[in-house]
Amino acid sequence: MPLDQPSDDDRQQASQHNIDKMWKFVEKFAEKSGSYLHPQREITEFLVIGLAKHIDEVGRPLCPCNFYEDKAEEAKRSTWICACEEMQKYKYCH
């Protein structure tokens, strides 16, 4: 089943500056760490948008795949900051 492409509305959830910053980060991190991005680029793009949105909101790239009751508090703990512990352990981002 094909996945929808991120829309302009999706992309407008975060600043373009932070979206660009997160694309560079995830591509460099994958290259340096031997990690893998999702084979469907649109899934990675949704993740990049979510990371950038969290930078806009709390100043840190929280993993957008989790629910946080208090994003600011979670950002202080750093458990789910990209590259999160799961990413570092399994070398694969969703």
pLDDT tens, residue by residue, 3-34: 688 888 888 889 999 999 999 999 998 898 88
Number of domains in the chain: 1
What is the per-residue DSSP string for the chain? -PPPPPPHHHHTTS-HHHHHHHHHHHHHHHHHHT-B--SSHHHHHHHHHHHHHHHHHHSS-B-TTS--S-HHHHHHH-TTBSSPHHHHHHSB--
Domain membership flag for residue 57: yes
Domain membership flag for residue 2: no
38-67: pLDDT as tens digits? 888 998 999 999 999 999 999 999 988 888
For 55, the domain range is 8-90
Domain membership flag for residue 1: no
- Report pTM: 0.83
* Known catalytic membership, residue 65: yes
Catalytic residue among 65, 82, 84, 93: 65
Q: What CATH number is given to the structural domain containing 36?
A: 3.90.460.10
